Amino acid sequence: MGATRPSRAKLLKELRALIVSGTPSLDGNLSESASLIASGLLESTTLVSVALWVEDRIGQEMDLGAFDLVAEWDTMEAIVDFVERQAAGPGAPAPRDR
């Protein structure tokens, strides 16, 4: 039997903590829909940490040049959507428990 996937709320909580810890100017009240990349809010070192977090959650390495980071990861919601899609596997609908 496979491992249970974390809930969307847990993923968002983990991601928010990671982003806030890597960006001292932010506080924990960062909106899930706030622009992170296009706005310049995330520094490159924090973006690398986010990429490693995503890889850990989906269980595989990614080629960050294979997709448009701004289109796919500009908000915390979008990053968690990406994780859910990748974890669901090709052709599977992403889980949504909002």
Q: Is residue 94 part of a domain?
A: no
- Does residue 11 fall inside a structural domain? no
Q: What is the pLDDT of residues 42-55, one digit of tens each?
A: 989 999 999 999 99
With a cut of 70, say whether residue 38 has pLDDT above it. yes
* Total domains in the fold of the chain: 1
The answer to whether the Cα torsion of 63, 69, 74, 77 is positive or negative is: negative
Give 15-30 pLDDT, tens digit per residue.
Answer: 999 999 988 787 767 8
Domain that includes residue 56, residue range: 30-88
pTM of the full structure: 0.84
Residue pair 46/19 in contact (Cβ under 8 Å)? The answer is yes
In a domain, 57, yes or no: yes
In a domain, 20, yes or no: no
For residue 98, what pLDDT is reported? Answer: 36
Return the pLDDT at 25.
80
Is 53 among the domain residues? yes
| Cα(98)–Cα(90) distance, integer angstroms | 22
CB atoms within 10 A of CB 54: 21
Is the residue at 22 inside a domain? no
Predicted pLDDT of residue 56: 95
Task: Look at residue 66 and tell me if it is in a domain.
Answer: yes
What pLDDT shows up at residue 45? Answer: 93
Residue 37 lies in a domain: yes
